């Protein structure tokens, strides 16, 4: 247990120090929230309609950008070799790395999401669900994304390959979470979409590490 917490502390510190943390999350949202009105037009009704969805685009982008270094650096500098020489199963190590990634990037982004959504004109009563969806969705992005990152280990231009593998896996949480937000906004029942998002996240957390560990073993051998 102490090994796992040691690993979590180190991975979080690494992810936090390199492109994670609250300031980066806020800056990232500021960028996305500025870019959107410029791209789609600044009519308040239109912006208010897409505001909750902007959180998803930002989350998915941020997850993709940070996936590149999830396993690649450890693979290149030999850490992955050494991590396997421990009683901690590789599956747990992969899960800890994804969790650390989420703590350093997904969590701050999720907490900043409602601010960006309100700035774009979303109704403040959506805030709670925006945070909850972004928390769950970000966790699913980290674990599903980890599969893509592990599969593209050792490939040249691995970043682009990761995106091609991972983006289809990002579709279900966006549909479920986006659907829940749209339903709440228009006064319809939203719990089904949210429950499906939770189920997808649970499946990603449970099954993702198995696939990641298999892909890492393959890359190391």
* Contact pick of 87, 125, 157, 187 for other proteins (by CB under 8 A): 87
Residue written as token pair 């939203």: 190
Of residues 26, 204, 24, 196, the one with CA closest to residue 98: 204
Residue written as token pair 């999350």: 25
Cα 204 from Cα 140, distance rounded (Å): 6
**Do residues 82 and 147 touch, judged by C-beta distance below 8 A?**
no
The number of residues that bind other proteins (CB under 8 A) is 25
Cα 96 from Cα 143, distance rounded (Å): 10
Report the nearest approach of other proteins to the CB of residue 63 (Å).
Answer: 22
* Contact pick of 16, 49, 65, 79 for other proteins (by CB under 8 A): 79
* Contact pick of 18, 31, 43, 44 for other proteins (by CB under 8 A): 18
Q: Which is nearer to other proteins, 10 or 46 (CB)?
A: 10
Q: Is 21 left (phi over 0), alpha (psi -120 to 50) or beta?
A: left
Determine, following the binding rule CB under 8 A, whether residue 210 of this chain makes contact with other proteins: no
Determine, following the binding rule CB under 8 A, whether residue 154 of this chain makes contact with other proteins: no
Q: Which is nearer to other proteins, 60 or 215 (CB)?
A: 215
Residues at the interface with other proteins (CB under 8 A) = 2-3, 6-7, 10, 13-14, 17-18, 73-74, 76-79, 81-88, 220-221
């Amino acid at each position: 247990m102490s090994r796992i917490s040691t690993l979590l502390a180190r991975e979080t510190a690494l992810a936090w120090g390199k492109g994670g943390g609250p300031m980066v999350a806020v800056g990232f949202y500021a960028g996305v929230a500025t870019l959107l009105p410029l791209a789609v037009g600044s009519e308040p009704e239109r912006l208010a309609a897409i505001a909750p969805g902007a959180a998803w685009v930002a989350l998915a982008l941020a997850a993709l950008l940070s996936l590149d270094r999830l396993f690649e650096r450890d693979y290149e500098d030999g850490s992955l070799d050494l991590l396997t020489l421990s009683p901690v199963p590789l599956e747990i190590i992969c899960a800890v790395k994804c969790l650390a990634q989420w703590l350093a990037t997904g969590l701050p982004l999720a907490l900043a999401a409602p601010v960006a959504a309100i700035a774009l004109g979303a109704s403040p009563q959506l805030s709670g669900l925006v945070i909850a969806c972004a928390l769950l969705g970000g966790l699913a992005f980290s674990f599903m994304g980890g599969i893509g990152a592990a599969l593209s280990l050792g490939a040249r231009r691995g970043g682009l390959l990761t995106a091609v593998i991972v983006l289809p896996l990002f579709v279900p949480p966006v549909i479920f979470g986006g659907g829940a937000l749209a339903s709440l906004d228009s006064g319809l029942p939203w719990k089904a979409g949210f429950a499906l998002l939770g189920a997808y996240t649970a499946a990603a957390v449970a099954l993702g590490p198995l696939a990641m560990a298999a892909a890492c073993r393959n890359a190391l051998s």
